[in-house]
Amino acid sequence: MNILENITDSYKILARSKARSFLTMLGIIIGIMAVIIVMSVGAGAQSLILNQVKSMGSNLVGVLPGASEEDGPPASAMGIVVTTLTSDDGDAILQDACPCIEAVSMYVSGNDTLSAEDASVNTTFTGVSATYTDVEDAVVEEGRFFSLDEERSSARLVVLGSEVKDKLFGDQHALGKRVKIKKSNFTVIGVMEQRGVSGFQNQDDQVFVPLRTAQKILLGINHVSFMRVKVDSADNIERAKESIVEVLRDRHDIGVGDTEDFSVRSMAQGLDALTSITNALKFFLIAVSSIALVVGGFGIMNIMLATVQERTREIGLRKAVGARARDIIFQFLTEASLITFLGGVIGIILGTFISLAVAQVAQAMGYDWDLVVTPFSIILGSVVSIGVGLVFGILPAKRASGLDPIEALRYE
């Protein structure tokens, strides 16, 4: 019997009991669907994270408080408050470090209810340097950003994100209006152009105040959370990093061989670290989702064992008319593989549609999310599903081939 005849006969046998065949496939459908979704959503989430980092620019260097290993994140990135960086450090970097450094912006932040007239909104207020727009390539759509003198004098000025402006003032002009943050009144001097999500932060749903105003009036602190340093060219990143380290080691009186109390990272380093972390998470999730395939495989083996018992007379008859043991094995393996292959195809289709829906929802929410359903994942799903059928079909096939034809014919 050739392969095509075997497949045709297997399909006819499965079609006799459509409900049982579908339920047998269900474990494989769920398993393959889960693997496709995890691979696609994992790749999409990875693209979101990497796109967010890339959106901040390849010519930026981040300076964070706290020591770290060369390939690991500093403590501050894990949510631990470290106070080793100050605004004077940022000023020193701009003044004494590499001439290739164009601008330095320092950041602190907090959360509070922003109120104006009869409206209020919960938002993030971010204290930044006057150079923020230069470093971040941000644009003020209405009004202006605060100046260096206003930053140094702790002026009570605020620039609104576009969403905050709409929530507080609607279609009205916001410039010159008063808003209240932590019981202090601020004058609106600008509204930012819509930017969406960048650097893991919705830029439109926050407000910006002068750095020293945020430190002294709103937060009562002297340190900064982190800095971003803009370099004139991506080619000068390493040179800029070395000069920043040199300036900060000198300012912090760190001796030769002593551990630094700060971390300097380029965007390329951040991308490499994030890629490694997200790849590890993605493969872990794929491994977990693959458990459903193993469960589905055991389900197929149980059903096929029951099928062998139900078809004992049929097997005996085939052996009596000359079918060899290998023909019986091949027939049952073909049936198991056909079940898993069909289940795999359905799982791939369902997984692809769900992945597409997830990507569209994420994109509709403003996230830079890529739909990634690769031919490799489809081919892998098909091969794995057939492989599961072969592996878990071996025991039922061998049991069927080992039946004695005389005893089989007598079986009731």
- Does position 355 have pLDDT exceeding 50, yes or no? yes
64, β-bridge pairs? 263
Which one of 15-19, 223-227, 304-308, 369-373 scores highest in mean pLDDT?
A: 223-227
pLDDT at 384: 73
For residues 139 and 256, membership in a common domain is answered with: yes
For residue 45, the enclosing domain spans: 3-53+277-410
Give the pLDDT of residue 136. Answer: 84
Fill in the amino acid letter for 34: A
Residues 104 and 237 in one domain: yes
404 belongs to a structural domain = yes
CA gap 216, 219 in Å, rounded = 6
Pair 221, 283 in one domain: no
Q: What mean pLDDT is predicted for residues 298-327?
A: 67
First-to-final CA distance of the chain:
27
Whole-number Å distance between alpha carbons of 319 and 328: 8
* pLDDT given for residue 315 in this prediction: 60
Same domain, 220 and 284: no
Q: What is the DSSP string of 170-221?
A: TTS--TT-EEEETTEEEEEEEEEPP--EETTEEGGGEEEEEHHHIIIIII--
Q: Which residue has the higher pLDDT, 199 or 138?
A: 138
Q: Does one domain contain both 240 and 153?
A: yes
Point out the domain boundary residue: 195, 225, 260: 260
- The count of C-alpha atoms lying within 13 angstroms of the C-alpha of 370, restricted to the half-sphere facing its C-beta, is 13
% pLDDT > 70, the chain? 71
Which of 231, 260, 289 is the last residue before a domain boundary? 260
Domain-embedded: residue 49: yes
**Of 260, 287, 314, which marks where a domain is finished?**
260
Per-residue pLDDT of 59-75, as tens digits, reads 788 888 887 666 555 55
Domains contained in the chain, number: 2
| Averaged pLDDT score across all residues of the chain | 78
pLDDT given at position 238: 84
The number of CA neighbours under 13 Å toward the Cβ of 359 is 21
Are 129 and 232 in a shared domain?
Answer: yes
